[in-house]
Amino acid sequence: MQHIRHLFYFGFIAYFFLACQTDKTPIKVGILHSLTGTMAISEQAVANATLMAIEEINQKGGLLGRKVIPILVDGKSDWRHFATEAERLITQEKVSVVFGCWTSASRKTVEPVFEEHKHLLFYPVQYEGLEQSPHIVYTGAAPNQQIIPATKWAFDNIGKKFFIVGSDYVFPRTASAIMQDLIKQLGGEVVGDEYVLLGSKDVKEMIAKIVKAKPDVIMNNINGDTNIEFFKQLREAGITTQKMPTFSFSIAEDELRSLDKNLMQGEYTAWNYFQSISTDENKKFVANYQKKYGTNTVTDDPIEAGYISVNLWAQAVRKAETADVATVLKNLPNQSFIAPGGLVYIDAKNQHIWKTVHIGKFRTDGQVDVVWSSEKPVQPLPFPASRLREHWEIFLHDLYTGWDKNWANLGKK
């Protein structure tokens, strides 16, 4: 009798193992980006790159012999809607991962959703740091991979007087605090710090204050299509690149297509990837992207980060031999990938990725000339050393409560 029980037991195990090996059920993944509203100018292209990476995986047979099915959702440039859709993707669509968000307000709003469900989000955009969630992989730049080196370079190469502008939500406010800490440490001066509501075109007062303050450089943390009006009015006020250059942290090649390239020539930006980077991987990436989305399209840093995100997740799935979220999470640390812009890998301590830093100047053809590079990947440090971690957490808490428990200003100046 015991012999029969053993045969039954091992037979059941063999059947279960065989069933797992022959599972051909598609793997559903969520893509959560703004396809409409003020942030569509940036996020649509990141969604496109994410879809392209998934298509490439499917063309090679999928993952574990299973097709990857993307569920594309519009965040509508509304961080509260992002949270609603994140909940739906996890609980109703039963996705194995979500790729998405751009603004930190949207990421901050969906973070508790992913933590409550012990799920997984890949966030593909440079951001202000001060965060480390076990359920988010940050494939954009941490502050020491963009904001901090760019501010130091501007101080060393442009001037000592800074005017900081931004959209009124958590990323620009925090980026400004990080910049101000460093500028003070270097012996520079912040002569202005002004904000405009996300999506607003009302920049007249901001421009007037810049003209009056006469800074050496403008540090621009404005997001979305507000930048179109901002640069238009800068030029109308007589502020040129030669007189007063601007350093932009949320304008890359894709956003530049919506701006007057002649007006933008010579302005500065800092990212971890430019389309003009000459590697074999990047040439292939750009060619494939333009073949799929048109020869007039461009690639840029968040687009590349969206593409990186899918590939890093896919590698973890292959290593885990399952798309189960909890198991994939355990297999993410130290995953590396030869990206279009060079080697990247996930830091096991904070789930940000090591990335190379580049500073560049916009050209009239919509591309970027690199003027400085770290040359090697930089370790991500999400909490700048200028303040203790608990002090940064108090800073964030005060912003959140000051906006009536939101991660952005909903309408107050």
Here the CATH number for the domain that contains residue 320 is 3.40.50.2300
- Quick one: 200 and 172 in the same domain? yes
- As a dihedral over the C-alpha atoms of residue 48, residue 262, residue 269, residue 223, rounded to 10 degrees, the angle is -60
d(CA 355, CA 110): 25
- Quick one: 372 and 247 in the same domain? yes
- Quick one: 63 and 110 in the same domain? yes
Which mean pLDDT values do the consecutive 10-residue runs of the chain (413 residues) have?
50 46 85 96 96 98 97 97 98 98 96 98 96 97 98 98 97 97 98 96 97 98 94 95 95 92 94 96 97 96 98 98 98 96 96 97 95 96 97 97 94 66
Domain residues for 44? Answer: 27-142+277-356
- Quick one: 254 and 182 in the same domain? yes
Pick from 100, 44, 103: which is nearest to 78 by CA?
103
Domain membership of residue 18 (yes or no) is no
Residue that has been written with the tokens 């003027």 in this structure: 371
- Quick one: 116 and 133 in the same domain? yes
- Quick one: 193 and 265 in the same domain? yes
- Quick one: 114 and 154 in the same domain? no
Collapsing DSSP states into helix, strand and coil, what is residue 72? strand
Domain membership of residue 62 (yes or no) is yes
Looking at residue 306, its amino acid is: G
pLDDT of residue 159: 97
* pTM for this model (two decimals): 0.91
Tokens representing 39?
Answer: 């942030």
- Quick one: 170 and 259 in the same domain? yes
- Quick one: 254 and 371 in the same domain? yes
- Quick one: 102 and 241 in the same domain? no
Pick from 165, 42, 83, 38: which is nearest to 405 by CA?
83
Residue 239: enclosing H or E segment and its boundaries?
none
Tokens representing 298?
Answer: 């461009």
pLDDT of residue 167: 96
Neighbours of 25 (CB within 10 A): 9
pLDDT of residue 19: 45
Residue that has been written with the tokens 């971690």 in this structure: 389
Q: Which residues contact 146 (CB under 8 A, 6 or more apart)?
A: 126, 249, 270, 271, 272, 357
Looking at residue 49, its amino acid is: A
pLDDT of residue 280: 96
Domain membership of residue 13 (yes or no) is no
Query: 64, 367 in Cβ contact below 8 A?
Result: no
Domain membership of residue 249 (yes or no) is yes
